[in-house]
Structure 1
C-alpha cells in the first residue's frame, strides 16, 4: 500500500515523495483507487478559502479564482493540459491515429483553449456561489474529492489503452469493477453523512445527504461519459483522457453542488 500511495501522490500532485519501490499492475490499480485522497491539500485550501468568504474576510469571487489557482499548482496543471489535449484531439477529425497524433503535440489549438476557458469559467462561477456559505463549501470539497473518481473510472478493467506507451497503457484495466463500485459507494456514503452532519438549521438532514450523494454520482457519471467517448473515438484511454475526465467530472459536480445549495438555501 505504501508504494501505491507514493505512486498516487507522485502522479496526481506536485508534492515531493519518494519513488515507489515496486510498480506493477496491482500497485497501479491501488494508486488509481487512492486518487481521491491525493486532493486532501487542495480540499484543505478550499475549506480555508470558504471560511474566509463566509466570515466576510474576502469576496467569494476572489477566493473562487484563488482556489482554482492553488488546485492547478498542486496538480502541476496536468489535468487541465489533458483537457486541452483531448479537446484538440477529438475535434481534429474521426481518424484515431490523427487524433492521437494531435494530442501528443505540445501546443494547444482553438478547441483546447476554448475547453480550458469555458471549464474554468464554469468552475469559478460555481465556486463563487459555493464558497459563500458553509454548506456550499462542504459541497465544493465533496465535488473536488469526487472528481478524482475519474481515475478509477478510466482505469476500469475491460478498458483498453489507446497507445502502447504512456500512463494509459500502464493503468488501463487495473481497477476491478467491484473495486470501482465499492469506491464510488464509499465516497458517496461519506459525502452523504458529512453533508447531513454539517447541514445548517432548517435544512432536513436527508436533503443535505441527498445533495452530497448527488454530487458524487454526477461526478462519476461525467467521468464515464468522457471515458466512453475516448474509447469510441480513440480506441482506448490515455493519460490525457484521465486528466480531461477529472476536469469534466469536477465541473459537472460543481454545477450539481451549486444547484443543490441553491435549493437547500431556498426559503
Structure 2
C-alpha cells in the first residue's frame, strides 16, 4: 500500500513520469499522508534554483519569478488551476451544484485571474527576499513553504471531510487520512520551519501553523458551500497556504 501511495503522491504532486500503479482509497490515503514529504523534495529543488539564480547575479525579483515559474512547471500548474477555479466559485456567491459547475468550466473568470495574479506576485516577491539570508535558511524557508502547502491538502483529506462529487480526485482522497499521519506531518514541518528565519526559531513554525490554520478555515468554508472537497479545493488550499507561509517567513 505504501509503495503504491508513494508513486501516487509523486504523480499527483509533480510531473515526474512515475507509473501510478494501484489506485484505490488505501493508496490515496497513503499518498495524501506523504504529500508534505513530496512538497519538501520539491521545495529543495526550487531552493536550489533560487540560490543558483542569485549566485549568477539575477535581480532578486527575476530570481523569485523564475523560481515560481519553475514550481508551476514541475506541478503542471494544477494547483494554480484549482486556486483559480475555487476563487471563481466562491466569488460567484453560488453554492452546491451551481458552484461545482463553475469549478468545472475550463475558462477562468475575473475572480480567478485576480487571485492567481496576486498569489504569484506575493510568492515571487517573498522569494526575492530570501537569498539575502544564509543559504541554509533560504533552503529551509522554501522547503517549509512548499511542504506546509501540501500538508494543507493532507489536512483537507482527513477523516470526516466529505467529497463534493461521487467521482474525481476528491472522491478518491476525501476522508482517507487518519490522525497519526496528520500529527507526524505537522510535527516534521514545524521542525524544519524552525531553521527558516535566522535568530528567530519561533517565526517559521508560527508562520507555518498560522497559514495552515487559514487553509483549514478556507477548506471548511468551501465544504459548507459546495458540500465537500474536490481536486480544485485541494489545489486552492495548497497555493493559499504556500503563499501565506512565504509572507510569514519574510516579515521582519
CA RMSD of aligned residues (A): 1.8
Q: 1:71 to 1:151 in 2, by over 3 A?
A: same
In structure 1, the residue matched to 2:162 is: 160
Maintained 8 Å contact 1:50/1:132: no
Q: CA deviation at 1:53?
A: 5.5
In structure 2, the residue matched to 1:11 is: 12
SS in 2 for 1:148: helix
1:214 lines up with 2:216 in the alignment:
no
Q: Distance in 2 between matches of 1:12 and 1:120?
A: 18
In structure 2, the residue matched to 1:79 is: 79
Q: CA deviation at 1:17?
A: 0.3
Moved more, 41-50 or 151-160: 41-50
In structure 2, the residue matched to 1:265 is: none
Describe the superposition over 1:40-76 as per-residue Cα deviations: whole angstroms up to 9, x where unpaired: 5532333223433654622211110010000000000
Maintained 8 Å contact 1:184/1:220: no
Q: Distance in 2 between matches of 1:138 and 1:182?
A: 18
Q: CA deviation at 1:195?
A: 4.2
Q: 4+ runs of 1 displaced by more than 6 Å?
A: none
Q: 1:232 to 1:131 in 2, by over 3 A?
A: farther
TM-score (norm 1): 0.87
User: What are the ranges of 5 or more consecutive residues in structure 2 without an aligned counterpart?
Assistant: none
Q: Distance in 2 between matches of 1:42 and 1:181?
A: 21
TM-score (norm 2): 0.92
Maintained 8 Å contact 2:7/2:18: yes
User: What are the ranges of 5 or more consecutive residues in structure 1 without an aligned counterpart?
Assistant: 263-267
SS in 1 for 2:58: coil
Q: Distance in 2 between matches of 1:128 and 1:82?
A: 25
Moved more, 228-237 or 139-148: 139-148
Maintained 8 Å contact 1:223/1:245: yes
Q: Distance in 2 between matches of 1:179 and 1:13?
A: 21
Query: How many residues of Structure 1 are paired with residues of Structure 2 in the alignment?
Result: 249
Maintained 8 Å contact 2:39/2:143: no
Which residue, 214, 229, 233 being the options, matches 1:237?
229
